[in-house]
Structure 1
Amino acid sequence: MISLILKLFFYQSPILTYSSDEIAVYDKIFDDAIRSGGVIHYTSTYPKHRFIAYIAAHKGVLLHGSNDQFIEKFETRRQTLFNGEYVEAVFATKDGIWPLFYAVFDKKKLIGNIRNGCLETRSGARFHFYSFSQESGNNTPWTRGMIYFLPMDSFKRAHKGLVSFDEWTSQVPVKPIAKINVEVEDFYYHDKVSVHKSTESVLITWLKYKLRILFRKTPDDFAM
């Protein structure tokens, strides 16, 4: 029932399956990067978002997306969890799509606020939403960014309930073991980003999210 309700308002994560050939390609790319310093040189014809999702699911790592392409160590900083609780931590996620938004959304172009997330049900189903203020939308807020692969050792799940955000936190600094450059085209939901008024309630943004995507003027608004 919870999944059916969430599906009305948000987009459910695609169910990805991988051929043996695809897996072999991804394993080699990642293993080669680990052996050679961690920079992933992606030459495969398979979509990059599939590679990122596979590595997140099968290599014991978490993901962090950033505009900064030269982070050598993630330091803890004061941030809020989805429930508003303050923590001093490094944030990451197990989801292969959500951090791409943070990698390719240009924070320097932000005016007002952004509202986004990956909600996960207790059964493991995941649902996404992405919206930023109208002023930011007028600013062409896309850029190139980086996805960092972080070891899971020091992380713990921030919260796990009937429905929760896929947030993980580490209370100690973390060094990434690999990274990959990404562009807006690599963000699976780049054509499913909406805009909202900065002053409207979060609840209204959630309730109107898919309607705004459905009724906007062209399907490519805010995609590039």
Structure 2
Amino acid sequence: MKTLLINILFRILFYPLPKISINMDEEKAFNHLFETSCKKADKLIEYNLAIPKYKFLYYVTKNKRVVLHGSNEQEVHAFEPRKQTLYNGEMATAIFATKDPMWPIFYAVLDKNKIIGNIRNGSVSANGNSFFHFYSLTKPTFINEPWTTGMIYLLPEGSFTNVSKGAIQFNEWISEKAVSPIAKMEVEPSDFYFLKKVASHRSDESVVKTWLLYKVRTLIKGA
């Protein structure tokens, strides 16, 4: 009952992933693209399909042993653990990744050099299956026109662990070992499904207030 109530609350406050279904032709195309790209020297996925990129990312996280990492950097040959903050505020020296097909696109297309204040975002769930999204930037960041071209790196899942536990779970995976990408794909701001659903908050407001007002703010912004 608790899980059900939390998911109902998330549905009220945040946005769910769009429903994703993959037909046999798409599966065949995705598999061919993945397998051939992994064999290339540059590991670049040259995505020329008339299908949203997040559907391809959804396919690989469900069918291949990979996790995803979004970055502004175009040429990362190896990721090294570094100090970062976990979803619960604890510090960890690790590489962060996710199996959510949308969340890393946000990190890939948000220019980190344009961030003023803080950012608040996440892919959250109460059952580890149905994830809901929220994205919020400060007004000065918006004024900075922060969107850019980025890269999604497909990393081998082997050394990663899903660290999120408890009533509220973030789709957050970490590795304490260095890893090299097995493939990478360029993404544009238009590939980010929630681009028009990014809200604005004050840096000094509470996280709870940002959560409670997130969806209202996006609806007002889009009016």
Equivalence for 1:44: 49
Q: Which runs of 4+ in 1 moved over 3 A?
A: none
User: Superposed, which structure 2 residues align to 1:137-152 within 5 Å?
Assistant: 137-152=142-157
2:186 match: secondary structure: strand
- Of 13, 16, 19, the match for 1:15: 19
1:10, 1:210 within 8 Å by CA — same for their partners in 2?
Answer: yes
Query: Counterpart in 2 of 1:4?
Result: 8
Query: What's the CA shift for 1:34?
Result: 0.9
Separation of aligned partners in 2, 1:70 and 1:26: 23
Larger relative helix fraction: 2
- Asked if the contact 1:77–1:89 (Cα under 8 Å) also holds between the matched residues in 2, the reply is yes
- 1:4 maps to a residue whose letter is I
- Name the counterpart of 1:159: 164
Of the three residues 23, 29, 35, the one matched with 1:25 is: 29
* Whole-Å separation in 2 of the counterparts to 1:202 and 1:175: 34
Q: Percent identity?
A: 45
Task: Name the CA distance, whole Å, in 1 between partners of 2:218 and 2:189.
Answer: 17
2:65 aligns with 60
Corresponding residue of 2:195: 190
CA distance in 2, matches of 1:144, 1:43: 16
Normalised to the residue count of structure 1, the TM-score between the two structures is: 0.95
Tell me the alpha carbon deviations over residues 34-75 of structure 1, each in whole angstroms, 9 at most, x when there is no partner: 111321011111111211121122111000000001110000
8 Å contact kept, 2:124–2:168:
yes
| In 2, Cα distance between equivalents of 1:70 and 1:39 | 10
- 2:61 & 2:174 partners in 1: Cα distance? 16
Which ranges of structure 2 fall in alignment gaps of 5 or more residues?
none
Say if 1:146 and 1:181, in contact at 8 Å, map to a contact too.
yes
Q: Map 1:124-135 onto structure 2 (within 5 A).
A: 124-135=129-140
Question: Structure 1: which 5+ runs fail to align?
Answer: 220-224
After superposing the two structures, state which structure 1 stretch, 86-95 or 33-42, moved more: 33-42
Q: Deviations over 1:61-98 (max 9, x none)?
A: 00000000111000000111011111110110010000
C-alpha displacement of 1:162: 2.3
Aligned to 1:222: none
* Aligned partner of residue 131 in structure 1, secondary structure: strand
1:69 equivalenced with 2:74 (yes/no): yes
| Counterparts of 1:82 and 1:124, CA distance in 2 | 17
SS of equivalent to 1:153: helix
The question of whether the paired residues in 1 share the 8 Å contact of 2:128 and 2:169 is answered with no
The question of 1:80 aligning with 2:114 is answered no
- How far does residue 197 in structure 1 lie from its aligned partner after superposition? 1.0
Alignment of 1:97-108 (within 5 A): 97-108=102-113
- Kept after mapping to 1: 8 A contact 2:65/2:158: no
